[in-house]
Amino acid sequence: MTVHGPAAAAVGEVEMRSWLSSVSVVVPTLGHPDAVRRLLDSLRAAVAALPRGREAELLIVDDSQGADLADIQKACHATGAVYLRGPRNVGAKRNTGVARSRFPLVLFVDSDCVATPSLLNDHIDAHNEHRATDGESIAAVAGPTVVDGAAQAPAWRTVQHSVVVNAPWNWPLHYDRLWWGATSNLSVRKDVFERIGGFDEHPYTVVGGEDVDFGVRLHAAGHRTLGDPRAVVMHATDGITKLSQFHRKLFLYGRACVYNCVRQPEHAGWSFNPASASGALAVTAVLLPGARRTAAGAAAAVLAGCFVRDTVKLLRRSRPANGMAGGRALRSAVAATSVDWSYHLGIAREAVVRGRPLLSMKRFDYFPPHLFRPAAAAGAPSDPSRQERNAS
């Protein structure tokens, strides 16, 4: 039977919305059973909010031991989630979850996040509304990851103006096309995921960099990642309560930057790394005793000068927003700069350990502006190349 007019439009709407009607939620984790329980409770509420005809399943992929293992299994049983034992590597955990999933759409959420009630509906709607746009295949949807209560958490408040701490979490608020999306809140068509081989299971770090590699390969295969500001998850702050934890996190991201430079060398470029430059001068001091004092002094001057420069930049950027003044603002800027510099140290460390010291002076370009399309309604940051180009 052929249908015309308004009835035809209604039929087309039904057909479009039935193309993807169910989602498998995959959550990799290790320990932190309270956070897992909190996330599962929020996801169960999101499942309950699904209209008739839509389904969801929750899969926890875990390698905890002892009491944490037992508690996470109990949380899964209480919420109807599927518990899966997984490998150590986070990308491999996600692959394990996808292999076990039943539905054509897979949503990745991190275990230290909380789902908003409409999260599952928003991801399903975004895929169905934008199956193809401007002749492009939309295979993934990235939603914002909003830090919940950052202003009341001292460590998070300190790093809120960092240029390398989780800038990709905000991209879906500003861009409707992304080159890659953070897996704290990313849905992918399962058929495309399998076609491009899923996540690399052999990165340099347990977590970090594998989501970038996946997104870049997705784009290279002719598919696009849509940014949708509606599909929000909240990121809790109780998992990181000390600045030292951010130092470790950024050090890990620096190591992952080297991994991305090796995996996608065409997107890596030369970049001055003060940690690497100072290290080279220190080596010179060891190898050339006669120049030891000069080289050591030069290394110290490079470190101090670059640190002061970066601190001043961050202070100027953060002062209008943080309401701080005088010594308090300066202390906060120094602390945030020290976190960013952990990223430099991570790059230098991984390059040397890999036996490729020249990589310590390279940096992966995480934000090529021409591969991110600003959303017409939201408007992009005024200077994305400065704020986001080197985000990890």
* DSSP codes, 265-285: GGGEEE---HHHHHHHHHHHH
- Taking CA atoms, 126 is separated from 103, 174, 266, 356, in Å, by 16, 16, 31, 42
What digits encode the pLDDT tens for the residues 237-255?
A: 999 999 999 999 999 999 9
- Dihedral angle sign, alpha carbons of residues 168, 171, 177, 181: positive
Q: What is the mean pLDDT of residues 300-325?
A: 74
Q: What is the mean pLDDT of residues 172-194?
A: 97
Amino acid 10: pLDDT: 35
Q: What is the mean pLDDT of residues 173-187?
A: 97
Taking the mean position of all CA atoms in its chain, how far away is CA 127?
20
pLDDT > 70? residue 76: yes
How confident is the prediction for the chain on average, in pLDDT? 86
CA 42/CA 354 separation, integer angstroms: 42
CA 304/CA 374 separation, integer angstroms: 37
Amino acid 140: pLDDT: 97
pLDDT > 60? residue 380: no
pLDDT > 70? residue 61: yes
Least confident of 17-31, 189-203, 213-227, 313-327: 313-327
Residue whose C-alpha is closest to residue 208's, from 8, 13, 23, 391:
391
Identify which has the larger pLDDT, 386 or 43: 43
Kindly state the DSSP code that residue 125 receives in the 8-state scheme: H
* Token pair of 73 as six digits: 């299994």
- What share of the chain has pLDDT > 90, as a percent? 66
Identify which has the larger pLDDT, 343 or 134: 343
Identify which has the larger pLDDT, 123 or 357: 123
Q: What is the mean pLDDT of residues 92-120?
A: 98
pTM: 0.87
Amino acid 81: pLDDT: 98
* Dmax (CA) of the chain: 92
What domains, with CATH codes, occur in the chain?
5-240 (3.90.550.10), 255-387 (no CATH)
pLDDT > 60? residue 305: yes
45-48: long-range contacts, CB 8 A cutoff, minimum separation 24: 45/115, 45/117, 46/115, 46/116, 46/117, 46/118, 46/119, 46/120, 46/121, 47/120
Residue 110 — left, alpha, or beta (φ > 0 → left; ψ -120 to 50 → alpha)? beta
Confidence of residue 331 (pLDDT cuts 50, 70, 90): confident
CA 392/CA 209 separation, integer angstroms: 8
Q: What is the mean pLDDT of residues 140-166?
A: 89
Q: CB neighbours (10 Å) of residue 13?
A: 11
- Helix 5-19 with 119-129: angle, nearest 10 deg: 120
